Amino acid sequence: MAHTGVLRPGFIQLRVLDMLAAVEHYSKRIGLHQVSEEADGRVYLKSADEFDHHSFVLRRADTAGFDLMAFKVRTDADLDAFEQRIVAYGYPVDHVPAGEQPGIGRRIGWTLASGHRIELFAHAEQSDPKPSAHNPDVWITEPHGMRARRFDHALLYGPEIEKNLEFFETVLDFRCAERLDMPDGVLAIWLTAGMKAHDIAFVKYPEPGKFHHASFELENWNDVGHAADIIARYDISIDIGPTRHGITRGQTIYFFDPSGNRNEVFTGGYTYYPDHPTRTWDHEQVGKAIFYYEREMNEAFLSVVT
Amino acid sequence: MQGNTARKWPDPRKRKGAMTDLLPTAGRNGDSTSTTLGRCFGGCAESCPLAGLGRCSGGTSAAPETPATARRVTVTIEGHGSASVSTEERLLVALERARGLGQITGLPRKLPVGCRRGGCGICRAQVIAGDYRRAPMSREHVSLSDEAEGVVLTCAIYAQSDLMLRLDARLPARRNCDGND
Ligand code: FES
Ligand SMILES: [Fe+2]
C-alpha cells in the first residue's frame, strides 16, 4: 500500500448565521444528507457516496467562516508520529477526545502560520446512507440536488503561506502539485496528500484564518450544468461559472451558501503522482490560471472571503 | 434603528409547500440547540434509508411565490443617483440591477458585490434615512454600535421606505469586533 500517513480531507467545520437555511442549502441543494444534530446545535452532513460518519459540519454563530478542517490518517500510530513531528517543527498540539464529534475518534489539532486550525484523526465510524461494498450498485440512495459525491477540498486565505508550504511538505508529507508565483513571491499553493490535484490550497491574504471556499466533487461536466440549473432555479447567489480552472483543470462553479460562505462544485482535474514536477504559473498568466475561459480573475476572487 | 423588526419579514422557509414547514422555527435568529432536526431534506426516493426511519421528507419544495405585500420604494445613493427597488428584494441585488440599467452612476469605485448573503462584509454601507428590515448578517462586519449608527450590509437588508444610503469613505470605520460583541 503506497498511500500511507495522511489519506485525505475528512471533514470541514464552518460557521453559519442561520442554521435552518444552511441545512436546507447543503442537504436539498448541494445534495448531502443530514446524519445528526447534536446537543450543542452542530449539524453533521455527508454525501451518500461517502462511507465515513460525516464530512461537513455546520456550527451556528454570529459570524460566517472557517472553524477547522480535519484530515484522516491511515492508522492510530500515525497520530502519535505526526504529533511528534508537528511539535518538533514548533507548533503546539492539542488533543480532542473521541466523540467530541459523533462517530469520530481522537483528534490532534494545531494552528497554521496562516491562522487556520487543522486536525488529524484516524478513526471514523460509518453512517447511512453510504455506498454498497458487496456487488455494489452505483448508488444505493438515489442522488439528489447537485448530486455532490464528496467534500473534496478547501481553499483558505491567510498570511505566511510560504510557511504553510514548508509545513505541509516537510511535516505532513504533502506535495505541492501547483503554485502561482508573483514577482514579489508566491501568491497561492495547491497541496495534495494523494493523487488528486489538491486536497487543500492557500492564497496569501493579510488577514489570518479566512475562508475562500469548500468544494464538492461531481461526477461529470453534465452534473456541473445541472448544478448551474439548480443555482438559477433556487436563486442561489452565484460568483462565477460554469467555467474551468487552468490550475488543476477542474470544471467549476463558485457560488455562496445562505451565510455567504463560498461553495464550489467541480469535476475533472488531472491525476497527480509524487514524481510529477510542481506545475507553476506566473503573474502574466494569472487570469488563465484561475479562470481559464475568462482569462481574468474576477474582482471577488481576491477580495471576497468569510 | 429597524433592528427589532427583523422577524416580520417574509420567511422564505414558510413558502406554501416547502418541506421545511415541517421543521421547528425556533432558533431562526438565535440558537437552535433546543431543536432536533434529525431528518433528511433530500429529494430522495424510497431507497433513502432515512425514509424508513420517518426522517426523510422526500420531494422538492414548491416554487417561491412573489409576496403579495411587495411595494416599490426609491433608494438614493448619496450623490450617485437613485433606483426603484422592491421591498421584498435584497437591497444590494436591486442596486446591481439599477447599476446595469444605468440608474446609478459615478460611484467612486465599482459597486462592491460579494456573497450577497451577509457573510463577507464587502457591501458594508450606512443608511442615513429610511426604514428597512434586516436578514442575518455577520457581526464581524457590523458591530452592535455600528448597527446603532445604521451601518448595514446592503445585501442583508430590505428597504421598507424610501432610503438614503452612504457608500463612500465617510462610513464609520470597521471596528475590530469579536463575534459576540
Ligand atoms: S455581499 Fe457579502 S456581506 Fe453583502
Ligand atoms: Fe476549489
Do A229 and A191 share a domain, yes or no? yes
Ligand 1 pocket member B93 (CB < 6 A): no
Distances (CA, A) of B36 to A12, A27, B23, B173: 21, 16, 9, 40
- Does A34 lie in the same domain as A86? yes
Ligand 1: centre distance to CA B33 (Å) = 27
pLDDT tens string A187-204? 999 999 999 999 999 999
Number of compact structural domains in chain A? 2
Beta bridge partners of A266: A217, A252
Specify whether A215 is located in the same domain as A85: no
pLDDT in tens, B7-51: 333 343 333 333 333 223 332 222 333 333 344 444 443 344 444
Indicate whether A194 belongs to any domain.
Answer: yes
CATH no. for residue A164? 3.10.180.10
Residue A53 sits in which domain range?
A: 6-121
Are residues A213 and A272 located together in one domain of the fold? Answer: yes
Q: What is the pLDDT of residues A82-101, one digit of tens each?
A: 999 999 999 999 999 999 99
In this prediction, does ipTM exceed 0.90? yes
Cell numbers for A75: 492508522
Closest ligand to C-alpha of residue B125 is 1
Distance A27 CA to ligand 1 centre (A): 23
Q: Are residues A159 and A50 in the same domain?
A: no
Strands B163-166 vs B72-77: parallel, antiparallel or unpaired: parallel
Q: Are residues A169 and A97 in the same domain?
A: no
Query: B122-170 pLDDT, tens per residue?
Result: 999 999 999 999 999 999 999 999 999 999 999 999 999 999 999 866 6
Looking at CATH, the fold of the domain delimited by B72-166 is given as Ubiquitin-like (UB roll) (3.10.20)
Q: What is the average pLDDT across A52-62?
A: 98
Dihedral angle at the C-alpha atoms of A21, A22, A27, A30, nearest 10 degrees? 110
B143 → chain A, closest CA residue: A62
